[in-house]
Amino acid sequence: MAEPDAATVRVARDALMSDAATWHEAAEVMTKAAHEAASLGLGGFHIGYLPSRLGAGQRYTEAQEYFVRVLREGALTMTEMATRLRAVLEDYDRSDQGASVRMQRAGE
């Protein structure tokens, strides 16, 4: 397989940086959504006497906790994806620097 040229490497680096930023931004949105969902709350007064007596309030709380958990887990996963993409980019940069040093030493 042929070595990629500088333009190909630049496009790959830009794509990695862009994707990492997108995953990070999405994680921030999910974190904010989890915070907002956690702040919501309905009590018996909002739901009504009979539905409250039948457990609607408890079901609401369970659903809310589920959505908050899923949003937080999603944010964590998206942050991890951004972190891994940045790590790949750093690995590429280290490899590229190492290759550059080897080429310079070979020319000496």
Taking the domains of the chain in order of start, what are their residue ranges? Answer: 16-107
- For the entire predicted model, the pTM comes to 0.74
* 59 against 52, higher pLDDT: 59
Angle of helix 6-39 relative to helix 56-107, nearest 10 degrees, comes to 160
DSSP letters for 30-54: HHHHHHHHHH----HHHH-HHHHHT
Sign of CA dihedral 33, 72, 35, 84: negative
Q: Give the tens place of pLDDT for each residue, 70-105.
A: 999 999 999 999 999 999 998 888 876 766 655 566
